[in-house]
Amino acid sequence: MEITSQNFKKNVKTALQNQELQSALKKSRSGFVDKRKIAVHALNEFEMLRKRAATIKNHVLAHLDQYLMQYEESVIQAGGHVHWASTPQQGVKIIQGICLKADAKYVTKGKSMIGEEMDLNHALEEIGMDVVETDLGEYIIQLAEERPSHIIAPAIHKTRNQITDLFFEHHAKHGITEKVEEVSAIVNEARTVLREQFVRADVGITGANFLIADSGSSVLVTNEGNGDLTSALPKVHIITASIEKIIPTYKDLSVFLRLLGRSATGQEMSAYTSIYRGPARSTDMDGPDEYHVVILDNGRSKMLEGEFWEMLRCIRCGACMNHCPVYQSVGGHAYGWVYPGPMGSVWTPLLVGLQNAANLPNACTLNGRCEEVCPMKIPLPRLLRSLRAQLFERGLVDWKSRMGLKIWAFLSQHPLLYRTILKIGAMCLHQMGRRRGSIRNLPFGSAWTASKDFPASTGGSFVSEWNSQKRS
Ligand code: SF4
């Protein structure tokens, strides 16, 4: 998958000019936020659960190797196989191998961000597989040949009209020639088309929200039930997961499930919580003959060693992006890789290299909303600041910003000079905005002021204003 995170500024311009995207973002803006707020307020122990969940994950991350080995043993005992992949390329090779060995032609897929990290659809198509996404949002973007723009609502950037056109264009080969516009009709049409795919699939691939170490179970949370049909009907079931998905026991699972639904969609629980544990037993009425779990590292074990380890607590609820003004204005594609929003601005540079995503840590106002709503108490603003410091240390900041920071560092060590220059600056700003009452295209601040007015200064600095307020 092409990484375009280094083009973030260009991507942003394109996103801001895309009227259909802006209209889709506007419609989705308050939905998740309002629903989460109601769901969280209705649960008195939400704060206690957040603390508990963060403690569990911290413990797991401190003993990650032990829990992963315990999980592997449990899966093997249940008749399944665990495969370890250090890189997305290794993961792809493993999955291609399983599909080829099964002589598969048709593959159904549930939503999996790890599958996106591996660019799995393309990799399977390259070896002749017919791959169909079964999550409605993923199915829509597969038809549009795009990637997800949100980790729980992959097609959130699409308007209803765009989906109508996509279905009309692609469903003729299934004998559907009528244009559908109502949401329920769109959903029914997708159901009709996907039903055929479920039945003919040789291999089903799903993601996993959690892996439970002591039972070897894999837990998948969905709202459509497509995960169950993807996993139970084909003769081979492959689960894609990453190393930090592990939790110790079912008891711990109950903590995470109560946080996940509320934080993601404002639901008390997602509609389906499916638990898989090995291939079908002789007494089972259905289920796969083969059961494989592919666990990807892709730089995560390296993250464990350093200052960004807390990011590994993430349960992919999407709350941080739902509350982020930057994400809400530009959507997910601008971030240029698999993970958008505040969590993506931390994950992406760590996984694809800071030099390939140097703008992302700056795609943030540091308003702190993401940390406030994160169910796993991940200090996203602090992590973003640390990435900014690394950008500076590694010389990945442009010369203007570097020079500005150096001047500021010098001035902050010389308070008298600092105050004098500030005073002159405030007076200049006052003069510049005196007539209009506001300033447009502020020199050195044009990115802020090109599209919105900057209020004219009163002529005093913040400190002088503060002192005069105190005196009055
Ligand atoms: S960083 Fe927090 S809020 Fe964002 S997706 Fe991860 S768990 Fe959810």
pLDDT in the model for residue 139: 96
Is 316:338 a contact under the CB 8 Å cutoff? Answer: no
- Please report which confidence band the pLDDT of residue 437 belongs to, taking 50, 70 and 90 as the band edges: confident
- Please report which confidence band the pLDDT of residue 432 belongs to, taking 50, 70 and 90 as the band edges: confident
Mutate to test the pocket of ligand 1, among 152, 263, 265, 314 (most ligand atoms within 8 A of CB): 314
Cβ burial 148-187 (10 Å sphere, 16+ → b, else e): bbbbbbbbbbbeeebbbebbbebbeeeeeeeebeeeeebe
Averaged pLDDT for residues 2-31: 90
Q: Checking DSSP bridges between strand 236-242 and strand 203-206, what pairing results, if any?
A: parallel
Region of poorest pLDDT, from 28-32, 227-231, 323-327: 28-32
Interval between CA 272 and ligand 1 midpoint (Å): 20
Q: Is the CB of 374 under 6 A from ligand 1?
A: yes
Q: What percent of the chain has pLDDT over 70?
A: 100
Region of poorest pLDDT, from 173-177, 407-411, 440-444, 462-466: 440-444
User: At residue 390, does pLDDT exceed 90?
Assistant: yes
User: What 3-state class would DSSP assign to 305?
Assistant: helix
Is 396:354 a contact under the CB 8 Å cutoff? Answer: yes
Which residue, by CA, sits nearest to atom 8 of ligand 1? 317
pLDDT in the model for residue 363: 94
Give dist(CA 16, CA 334) in Å, integer: 10
pLDDT in the model for residue 354: 96
Interval between CA 377 and ligand 1 midpoint (Å): 8
Is 1:337 a contact under the CB 8 Å cutoff? Answer: yes
**Tens digits of per-residue pLDDT, 86-140?**
999 999 999 999 999 999 999 999 989 999 999 999 999 999 999 999 999 999 9
Q: Is the CB of 315 under 6 A from ligand 1?
A: yes
Question: Chain-wide mean pLDDT for the chain?
Answer: 94
Q: Is the CB of 314 under 6 A from ligand 1?
A: yes
pTM of the model: 0.91
pLDDT in the model for residue 443: 74
Q: What percent of the chain has pLDDT over 90?
A: 82
> Which class is domain 43-142+199-300?
alpha beta
Interval between CA 292 and ligand 1 midpoint (Å): 27
Q: What does the block give as tokens for 299?
A: 């730089």
- CB-based burial of residue 96 (10 Å sphere; 0-12 exposed, 13-18 middle, 19+ buried)? middle
pLDDT in the model for residue 173: 92
- CB-based burial of residue 357 (10 Å sphere; 0-12 exposed, 13-18 middle, 19+ buried)? buried
Is 218:123 a contact under the CB 8 Å cutoff? Answer: no
Mutate to test the pocket of ligand 1, among 56, 308, 316 (most ligand atoms within 8 A of CB): 316
User: At residue 447, does pLDDT exceed 80?
Assistant: no
Averaged pLDDT for residues 396-411: 89
- Please report which confidence band the pLDDT of residue 385 belongs to, taking 50, 70 and 90 as the band edges: very high
- Radius of gyration of the CA atoms of the chain, in A: 25
Q: Is the CB of 343 under 6 A from ligand 1?
A: yes
Give me the residue spans of the domains in the chain: 43-142+199-300, 318-397, 400-471
- Please report which confidence band the pLDDT of residue 64 belongs to, taking 50, 70 and 90 as the band edges: very high
User: At residue 216, does pLDDT exceed 90?
Assistant: yes
Give dist(CA 180, CA 193) in Å, integer: 14
- Please report which confidence band the pLDDT of residue 464 belongs to, taking 50, 70 and 90 as the band edges: confident
Q: Is the CB of 360 under 6 A from ligand 1?
A: no
Q: Is the CB of 340 under 6 A from ligand 1?
A: no
Which residue, by CA, sits nearest to atom 6 of ligand 1? 314
Interval between CA 96 and ligand 1 midpoint (Å): 31
Q: Is the CB of 336 under 6 A from ligand 1?
A: no
Interval between CA 106 and ligand 1 midpoint (Å): 33
